[in-house]
Amino acid sequence: MIKQKIFNGFLSRLGPGLLYAGAAVGVSHLVQSTRAGGMFGFELILAIVIIHLIKYPFFEFGPRYTAATGRNILHGYKKLGNWAVWTYLGMTAATMFIIQAAVTVVTAGLITHIFGLEGLGGFEPQMVAAIISSLLLLICFTLLASGHYVLLDRLVKVIILVLSITSVAAVVMLLFDNPGHAESATVIFSFSDTAHLLFLVAFLGWMPAPMDISVWHSIWSESKNESEGTTASMKAALFDFRVGFFGTGLLAICFLSLGALVMYGSGEEFEAGGAAFAGQLIGMYQKALGDWAFPIVAIAALTTMFSTTLTLLDAFPRTIGISLELIFPKQIKHRNNDRTYLVWLLITIAGTLTILFFFLPSMSAMVKVATVIAFVAAPVLAILNTLAMFDKEIPQQYRPGKFVLVWCILGLTALIGFSVSYLFLI
């Protein structure tokens, strides 16, 4: 009973940090991390660790800013000038449709495999994916428009917990089982191989998540404060954030390990289609844990991706509405935010469906484009977060110190260097 109370107390301290995890643990983990392990074994684990260290302060600045000021970090952008908010809007508009499409089609792939809908209506696989994605977006729209999204929020803790336990258990079981085929593997990551470098860019683009989530996290923190009628302390906000941030890092390593232990050196390649890839992914868990694990893993993976799809579909129109309100405070009143939100929600869905029906060659191509866009955009949003957090109006006791400033400069140098190098490669 005492242990249960302690555990419940621990979960009660978590809020926006787990929403962050629910949004982050999606394509970057289920798809890209698993592919990285299948292609290069355990070699890219160090890349996961390094990219987390590089991006850490920029993600932390979202909840830190809200804890310090009581407002979301877009207000910090506004203090820099309208150009900063316009920049964020431009980056969002350039990526929102492709990112939403990538996440939605992966979720549709899971649905297709789990429920055996591959031959739905006699359509081609791409059309099946587009149709299921449409129905999925309709469900999401209904939930968001009716305000029932809060019901899913309450399940995020359970969803992430189930996925974490099954993932760790699968890796441990596979380590003891030791398939043995990795010894014959010959594919080694090489920085002199352009194809390998391009994959690394796509892999790290969404690792641990798109930089946009730092803004969303700040907005979720502000909403939590408003609903509870209080402002979370800096200590509580950072604890909540770090559990989500480092927890998703651990899960990324778990998914990479699954790919390395099951696929690396086996001679089998990952499928490009969403449904086929979903079958391979769930098959890894079955191989490690047994057939009994299928329903648990299927539910965990599907609910995680559905949570990601729904969270993104909520975040894009919400942040656009807040940004437009900051730029045009007289024209867009706060009381009209719900109407602005619904308009942009419909625009997001329309843009996503356009991509899914007319520009969807394969799931892998969609994911690659989305992650590369996120990779190139990361330095811009990182700079905005840094400028907002080091603003002189931030109370001195909450402003990061010189060590963090040096960390940010080194991280920004690395991100900008990566982006410039990638532009020379393509």
- What pTM does this model have? 0.84
The answer as to whether 10 is a domain residue is: no
Confidence category of residue 5, pLDDT binned at 50, 70, 90: very low
| Position 321 in a domain | yes
pLDDT value, residue 141: 92
pLDDT at 7: 45
Is 4 a domain residue? Answer: no
Q: What is the CATH number of the domain that holds 96?
A: 1.20.1740.10
Residue at 381 is within a domain:
yes
Query: Which pLDDT does position 12 carry in this prediction?
Result: 52
For the ranges 159-173, 174-188, 294-308, 323-337, which has the lowest average pLDDT?
Answer: 174-188
Residue 421 sits in which domain range?
A: 16-425
Helix 294-327 and helix 125-146: axis angle, to 10°?
A: 60
- Both structure tokens of 304: 């995680």
Measured at the alpha carbon of residue 321, what is the angle toward residues 359 and 416, in degrees to the nearest 5? Answer: 65
Predicted confidence (pLDDT) at residue 136 exceeds the cutoff of 60: yes
Domain-located, residue 235:
yes
Which three-class secondary structure state does DSSP give residue 185?
coil
Taking only the tens place, the pLDDT of each residue in 75-121 is 999 999 999 999 999 888 878 888 898 889 888 888 888 888 877 76
Q: Find out whether 163 and 251 touch, Cβ atoms under 8 Å.
A: yes
Instruction: Tally the domains of the chain.
Output: 1
Q: Determine the average pLDDT of the residues in 136-156.
A: 75
- Provide mean pLDDT across the span 170-194: 71
In-domain check, residue 131: yes
Rg (CA), the chain: 21
Per-residue confidence band for 33, with pLDDT thresholds at 50, 70 and 90: confident
Q: Which amino acid is at 344?
A: W
Q: Is 8 a member of any domain?
A: no
Instruction: Give Cα 128 to chain centroid, integer Å.
Output: 25
Percent of the chain with pLDDT over 70: 85
Least confident of 28-32, 244-248, 310-314, 408-412: 28-32
Per-residue model confidence (pLDDT) at position 147:
67
pLDDT above 90: residue 137? yes
State how far the Cα of 223 lies from the Cα of 242, in Å rounded to an integer.
19
